[in-house]
Structure 1
Amino acid sequence: MANYKIHPSSVISADVEIADDVEIGPYCLIQGKVKIGKGTFVEGHVTLGSRHGILEIGENNHFSPGAVIGGAPQDISYKGEPTSLIIGNNNTFREFSTVNLATSKHDKKTEIGNNGYFMAYTHIGHDCKVGNNVIIANDSHLGGHCIIDDGVTIGGVSAFNQFVRVGRGAFVAGSAVVNKDILPFCRAQGNYAMARATNKIGLSRKGFSREEVSNVHKAIRIMILGSHTVEEGIARVEQECVMSENIIYFINFMKTTKRGLAIDRSPKGWQDDE
């Protein structure tokens, strides 16, 4: 016997699979091939799934009123292909947040990791890859194909161009407009957003040692300050910084950027000269 609660006013299609301890509130529409993991709470007036796509939701997620999750991608090339949206565990989607299915252009998956917090009116576009422990504040929007690595925090009313990547542990200040890749572990802000400083407080809160914060800070200063090329900056980081896991990731991020790096080389762009 199923051990879940569904309000009688909600409409659930025959293809939906619901695990134990799921609660679905009033006036929800859940349609298509949808799987909902145990412990998930779907409040009233939530829409999950679509006629065409596949929506897989992990455990202990929370969807607030007005959220629309797993709708068709906002891409005129999409013709109802059976693409997917895959959501991990312990995520919160606040009021009127939206997340779209993928298109058929790449791996056909929009993916969200674990322990995310997506505030009211946030939008995650088609084919995005969002990591673990990501926070996106109110009314911030990701265009299609964005990659947001683990531990990123994004301030409110920010906009991200399609195909942008934000590196692990970065903090993007509110009202930013992002059109290039944001360096890992930095603080970025502006229109267009540029790396301005090291996210020292955020890294300390994530458990980085004082020595490793200093190591990362040195690498970011090398890349932001000075008149050298990106390639010359990478060579300096390789020579002058301790090759920890974080620095290796930092270097690989820069070497594999496709949209270019959001770096302001002018001294006035740097906000932390410690």
Structure 2
Amino acid sequence: MSDSFIHPAAVVEAGAVVGAGVRVGPFCHVGPDAVLGDGVELVSHVSVIGVTSVGAGTKVYPHAVLGGPPQDMKHKGGRTTLTIGSNCTIREYVTMHTGTDGGRGATVVGNNGFFLVAAHVAHDCIVGNNVTLTNQATLGGHCEVGDHVIIGGLTAVHQNVRIGRRAFLGGGSAVVGDVIPFAMAVGNRARLRGFNLIGMRRAGMARAQVLAMREAYRRIFDPARTVAQNLESVAVDFAATPEVMEIVDFMTKRGKRHMCVPPYADAGDAGDGSDG
């Protein structure tokens, strides 16, 4: 605990591992199976319980609860874990739960995450790097979220849903199907609204890449044929475009949920998030 500071009003139980330069503010509770990496800061009134590891440089704000037991009636109380990566920002009232003994047994959150007020990561989720959950965004159990995903405020993601990397989920949405990489999904129930063009530009994608992806999008969701047939032809014609192939692979290896698709009779790519 070299150079660490633990406020006299905090409780750090015997067995907890506290790295160098950690700051534990007043009225925090760190359980006996918790691990706080170097430079972690718990501002105040933070609970880190269960078998929970918080990565170096992560900052946690008041009333967040990390490592609570899963909200799953099938869980029998086994020793399951929560692992949070480095350099995350976890704001007030965020909750993240450990895995279930009947599921993965682990909840994993990547590096550089930004979790805003009252966001929730449920049991057995896998969350990538550089993910943002804005205020009160909620992940159900067993979700998989790719890198650089942004989930808008008050958006709920159904259990077992996969969100491809660099997707954007608009605020106030109910997401009950998988969302392909780079896509934008909005609504209740959420539908695809083209690609997350702003995110793609921020990622430095060339115009030619974006145009190829938009053409592939139109073809994949062309209602004249089945999606399976469209995917077969797109896989041949866009084999040299890695981003398109990533989408094809994502869709052909679907999980337990169906796919979010464009609005009925609209396979276009508005690219602006409008509902029109």
**What's the Cα RMSD here?**
1.7
1:27 corresponds in structure 2 to 27
Are 1:11 and 2:5 an aligned pair? no
> How many angstroms apart in 2 are the aligned matches of 1:179 and 1:203?
24
- Indicate conservation of the 8 Å contact 2:127/2:144, yes or no: yes
> How many angstroms apart in 2 are the aligned matches of 1:234 and 1:160?
25
1:44 corresponds in structure 2 to 44
- Indicate conservation of the 8 Å contact 2:76/2:101, yes or no: no
In the TM superposition, residue 213 of structure 1 has moved relative to its aligned partner by 1.7
- Indicate conservation of the 8 Å contact 1:12/1:30, yes or no: yes
In the TM superposition, residue 270 of structure 1 has moved relative to its aligned partner by 4.2
> How many angstroms apart in 2 are the aligned matches of 1:106 and 1:93?
25
- Indicate conservation of the 8 Å contact 2:171/2:186, yes or no: yes
Stretches of structure 1 lacking an aligned partner (at least 5 in a row): none
1:236 corresponds in structure 2 to 233
SS at match of 2:154: coil
SS at match of 2:83: strand
- Indicate conservation of the 8 Å contact 1:186/1:220, yes or no: no
Q: Deviations over 1:97-131 (max 9, x none)?
A: 00000001233110001111010010000000000
Q: Which moved more, 1:230-239 or 1:18-27?
A: 230-239
Which residue of 95, 100, 118 corresponds with 1:98?
95
Stretches of structure 2 lacking an aligned partner (at least 5 in a row): none
Residue type matched to 2:179 in 1?
Answer: I
- Indicate conservation of the 8 Å contact 1:216/1:246, yes or no: yes
Q: TM-score, normalised by structure 1?
A: 0.94
Equivalent residue runs for 1:245-264 within 5 Å:
245-258=242-255, 259-264=257-262
1:196 corresponds in structure 2 to 193
> How many angstroms apart in 2 are the aligned matches of 1:27 and 1:131?
30
Q: Give the length in aligned residue pairs.
A: 271
Q: Deviations over 1:25-58 (max 9, x none)?
A: 10001113111111111110000013xxx11111
Residue type matched to 2:11 in 1?
Answer: V
SS at match of 2:215: helix
- Indicate conservation of the 8 Å contact 1:215/1:242, yes or no: no
In the TM superposition, residue 190 of structure 1 has moved relative to its aligned partner by 0.8
> How many angstroms apart in 2 are the aligned matches of 1:183 and 1:116?
20
Fraction of identical pairs, as percent? 35
Q: Which moved more, 1:238-247 or 1:203-212?
A: 238-247
> How many angstroms apart in 2 are the aligned matches of 1:273 and 1:4?
48
Residue type matched to 1:33 in 2?
Answer: D
In the TM superposition, residue 154 of structure 1 has moved relative to its aligned partner by 0.7
2:58 corresponds in structure 1 to 61
SS at match of 2:214: helix
Are 1:127 and 2:124 an aligned pair? yes
Q: Deviations over 1:1-47 (max 9, x none)?
A: 72201111001110110000111110001113111111111110000
